[in-house]
Chain A
Amino acid sequence: MRNTRRGLLRRRRPELDAATVASAPVPLVVPDLDIAPNDPLLPVFQEASGPVDISALDLDSPALEQMREAGVMLVVPLVASGELIGLLNLGPRLSERGYSSDDRQLLGRLAGYAAPAMRVGQLVREQQSQARTRERIDQELKVAQLIQQQFLPKAVPDLPSWHVAAFYRPARTIGGDFYDFITLPDGRVMIVVGDVTDKGVPAALVMASTHALLRSNAVRLLAPGQLLATVNDLLCDDIPAHMFVTCLVLVLDPATGNVVFANAGHNLPYLRTSDGVIELRATGMPLGLMPGMKYDENTAVLQPGECLLLHSDGLAEAHNSDREMFGFPRLADIVSQPRSGEQLIDACMAELADFTAADAEQEDDITLVTLERLASAVYADAVPSDAGPAGSDLPTASVTSASADECLLGQFAVASVAGNERVALEQVADAVRDQGLSHDQLERLKTAVAEATMNAIEHGNANRAELDVDIKVFRLADAVAVTITDDGGAPSVDPPMADPDLDKKLAGEQTPRGWGLFLIKHMVDAMDVSTDGAKHTVRLTIHVESTPIPLGKEAGDDEQV
């Protein structure tokens, strides 16, 4: 309350001036009066029962000295609820006579009315100011949130044979976490996770510029170490002195599973391998601390079935009510369990919820990105060489390596109801209409899509109408690909099953059925099957011989191919 009181003394100057004009031939000018908390004058005013005659006081008080110098004769303390909230300072009386007892009584009564009114005004003002502060903070949080959301990717990359999952949960005060996926011109995919020190709008702004610097330099530099060094030098020029950015950059070649990575002081990623969990280590200083830093570049290979976790410190450095830290060993232990990327993220968050109290406020942003190489199989190799028009002279392996250049032509879902494969094939036919497929190719693609969708409906989703079969159509540089995804964890088309043999079927040694997979394999140039434990995907690819539509163009552009 002392500060408030002092502030009030300053604010009272207009009233002081008004009183002065009425009572002095020359305006009384009292300099900004700051009464120290231990000034003996304060108790005098506090306890006075009415106006105080300054000249009658004998105190060792700097404030009293100042008042006398300014010509103050009489001080009327304003006291509300026992608290001194202001002073009414008067100079010499205009008539040159001293203040009479009537004057003093009048001033005393005036103070009795004025003090509570002033107190009310003072409280209202305090509350308004607090409300404004709260509003400003809320506003800032909203701005920070907006900035941050603006820069987080809207979707994870869709890579055949890979499953990428991302999770981001901001703390209430919004930290500076970010992550990004950047497709490089050479077909590889760059994955970035970072964390700006500090919170709120300043962190969000630094995050935005870091994000922009990474994006704009990534496609030119390609190498993660060089990228971090460049961005560090650029950031050092502009970043506020007390702030820095930790950042991990990893470049994945989806065709081979090779990753190259560099680290600017960020948490080490965990890789689950068949030999246990390992950390991907590379040393480097956080960004924005000092220019001219070098960043180690290391490599690793992700084998099928392996899963990588990139994480910000919001998880491992979370505390419980006993101030214990969640800790890295606990996190590494979660990673060691065989799980899909999404399951891993769910497990991390479930463990965190167990660790902290249920109603505990999250201390910092949490960002988790998983990169999982699916245990996949390519069955196109199994197509016999005498398979007719769908023969084996077309590339199959290249389909996966071209993945980064693919562009989505269409995406839709059908309910798992028998007959809906017709809907799927019409939609796919529509999506690939201008992609240069010959009539025969289109018919073959339609049959393959219908058969794969039937499998997904019947086997993957067990004819449960509430489950969708998700279908995506992609344009690749030299092919068209369709993915058909159901909820069956296990492959819904059983691979190396014996090919149907018509002689045996006619002789009653095989069921008349069982043509689906056989047909698909003969209709398309490649069929890849993958599963992530929860979803099962069949990818069908047909090579297109005609001039491809330039990548990035929308399906249905006027340009004829």
Chain B
Amino acid sequence: MTSKCEATVRTVGNLSVVSLSGEVDGSAAHVLSAAYEQAAADGPPAVLLDFAAVDYINSTGIALIVSVLAKARSEGRRVVASGLSDHYRLIFDITRLSDFIQLYADVDSAASGINEGAPA
């Protein structure tokens, strides 16, 4: 199945930002892991997953995010997220992903939040 998920990677401050768009479901596995590898290549302390242009995340997509989080943690890297709608914030709460992934409104607030050295 062709993925309806796209990812671009850029650096904002000391954050490596993965901007996702489209649908984060099972078909996004390759796109997401490749984007994480690229984002982590330079050894940033934190990777930001920006969901601002994502319109659908399903349970398989949640599983992919769990995998990315597990990998980042094994590498001692923080994962933060931005751009989630209220509904997907709820899902991050229910799944307790938000216990491990600090949620920000957007990329800018994430960048300044990280720079302020907030949440551990």
Interface residues of A (CB under 8 A from B): 387-389, 418-419, 421-422, 440, 443-444, 447, 450-451, 454, 500, 502, 505-506, 508, 511-516, 518-519, 522
Are A447's CB and B58's CB within 8 A? yes
In angstroms, Cα B59 to Cα A513, docked, is 7
B1 CB contact (under 8 Å) in A419, A447, A451: A419
Query: Which label, helix, strand, loop or mixed, suits the secondary structure of the B interface?
Result: helix
Question: Contact mask B15-28 → A, CB, 8 Å, 1/0?
Answer: 00000000101110
Is residue B116 within 8 Å, beta carbon to beta carbon, of the partner chain? Answer: no
* CB–CB A502/B58 < 8 A: no
Place the interface of chain B in its size category: 20 to 34
Q: Which of B64, B91, B97 contacts A502 (CB 8 A)?
A: B97
What residues on A are CB-neighbors of B42 within 8 Å?
Answer: none
| B63 at interface by CB-CB < 8 Å | yes
How far apart are the CA atoms of A447 and B95 in the complex, in Å? 14
Query: Which residue from B27, B64, B87, B96 sits with its C-beta under 8 Å from A512?
Result: B64
The answer to whether B94 touches A387, judged by C-beta atoms less than 8 angstroms apart, is yes
B95 touches A502 (CB 8 A): yes
Nearest chain B CB to A81's CB is how many angstroms away?
83
Within 8 A of A (CB), among B16-73: 23, 25-27, 56, 58-60, 62-64, 66-67, 69-70, 73
Question: Which of B66, B90, B99 is the one whose CB lies under 8 Å from A505?
Answer: B66
Among A418, A518, A522, point to the contact of B26 (Cβ < 8 A): A418
**Docked CA distance A515–B88 (Å):** 14
**B59 is contacted by which of A443, A451, A502, A506 (Cβ under 8 Å)?**
A451
- In the complex the two chains form, is B87's CB within 8 Å of A447's CB? yes
B70 near A505: Cβ-Cβ < 8 Å: yes
Q: Which residues of B contact A422 (CB under 8 A)?
A: 23, 56
Interchain Cβ contacts under 8 Å between A and B, 25 examples: A389-B90, A418-B1, A419-B25, A419-B27, A443-B85, A443-B86, A443-B87, A447-B58, A447-B91, A450-B58, A451-B59, A454-B59, A502-B100, A505-B70, A506-B70, A508-B70, A511-B63, A512-B63, A512-B64, A513-B60, A513-B63, A514-B63, A515-B59, A516-B59, A518-B95
The contact of A500 among B25, B86, B91, B95, by CB within 8 Å, is: B95
Query: Are A506 and B100 neighbours in the complex by a CB distance under 8 Å?
Result: yes
Chain A residues with CB under 8 Å of B1's CB are: 418-419
A515 to chain B, nearest CB (A): 4
B residues lining the A interface (CB < 8 Å): 1, 23, 25-27, 56, 58-60, 62-64, 66-67, 69-70, 73, 85-87, 90-91, 93-97, 99-100
Across-interface contacts of A512 in B (CB, < 8 A): 63-64, 66-67, 70
The smallest C-beta distance from B114 to any residue of chain A, in angstroms, reads 21
Closest to A389 in B: B90
CB-CB under 8 A from A451, the residues of chain B are 58-59
Q: Known contacts being A443-B87, A502-B100, A512-B64, is A522 close to B58, with CB within 8 Å?
A: no
Add 9 more A-B contacts to A451-B59, A519-B91 (CB < 8 A): A419-B27, A443-B86, A454-B59, A502-B97, A505-B70, A506-B69, A506-B70, A512-B70, A519-B59
Among all A-B residue pairs, the 3 with the closest Cβ atoms: A443-B87, A515-B59, A512-B66
**What residues of chain A lie closer than 8 Å to B87, measured between beta carbons?**
440, 443-444, 447
- Tell me which of B26, B70, B94 contacts A519 (CB under 8 A): B94
Please determine whether B58 and A421 come into contact, CB atoms closer than 8 angstroms.
yes
A502 and B86 CA atoms in complex are apart in Å by 21
A389 to B87, CA, bound (A): 11
CA distance A387 to B93 in the complex (A): 10
Question: Of the candidates B27, B85, B93, B100, which one forms a contact with A388 in the assembled complex, judged by CB atoms under 8 Å apart?
Answer: B93
Query: Is A522's CB under 8 angstroms from B67's CB?
Result: no
Closest to A444 in B: B87
Known: A440-B87, A447-B87, A502-B100. A522 touches B73 (CB 8 A): no
Select which of A419, A447, A508, A515 is within 8 A of B63 by beta carbon. Answer: A515
Residue of A with least CB distance to B69: A506
User: A515 to chain B: which residues have CB within 8 Å?
Assistant: 59, 62-63, 95
Q: From residue B72, how far is it (CB to closest CB) to chain A in Å? A: 10
- CB-nearest residue of chain B to A522: B94
Residues of chain B within 8 A (CB-CB) of A421 are: 58
Q: Which residue of chain B has the shortest Cβ distance to A516 in the bound complex?
A: B59
Closest to A450 in B: B58
Shortest CB–CB separation between residue A441 and chain B, in angstroms? 10
Q: Is the CB of A454 within 8 A of B69?
A: no
Docked CA distance A419–B58 (Å)? 10
Q: Which residues of B sit under 8 angstroms from A450, Cβ to Cβ?
A: 56, 58
Closest-by-CB residue of A relative to B2 is: A419
Taking the closest CB of chain A, its distance from the CB of B23, in whole angstroms, is 7
Taken together as a complex, chains A and B put the C-alpha atoms of A419 and B27 apart, in Å, by: 9
Instruction: Tell me the bound Cα distance from A500 to B96 in angstroms.
Output: 10
Residue from B58, B85, B87, B100 whose CB has the most chain A CB atoms within 10 Å: B58
Chain B residue with the shortest CB-CB distance to A513:
B63
Contact across chains for B63 and A502 when beta carbons are under 8 A apart: no
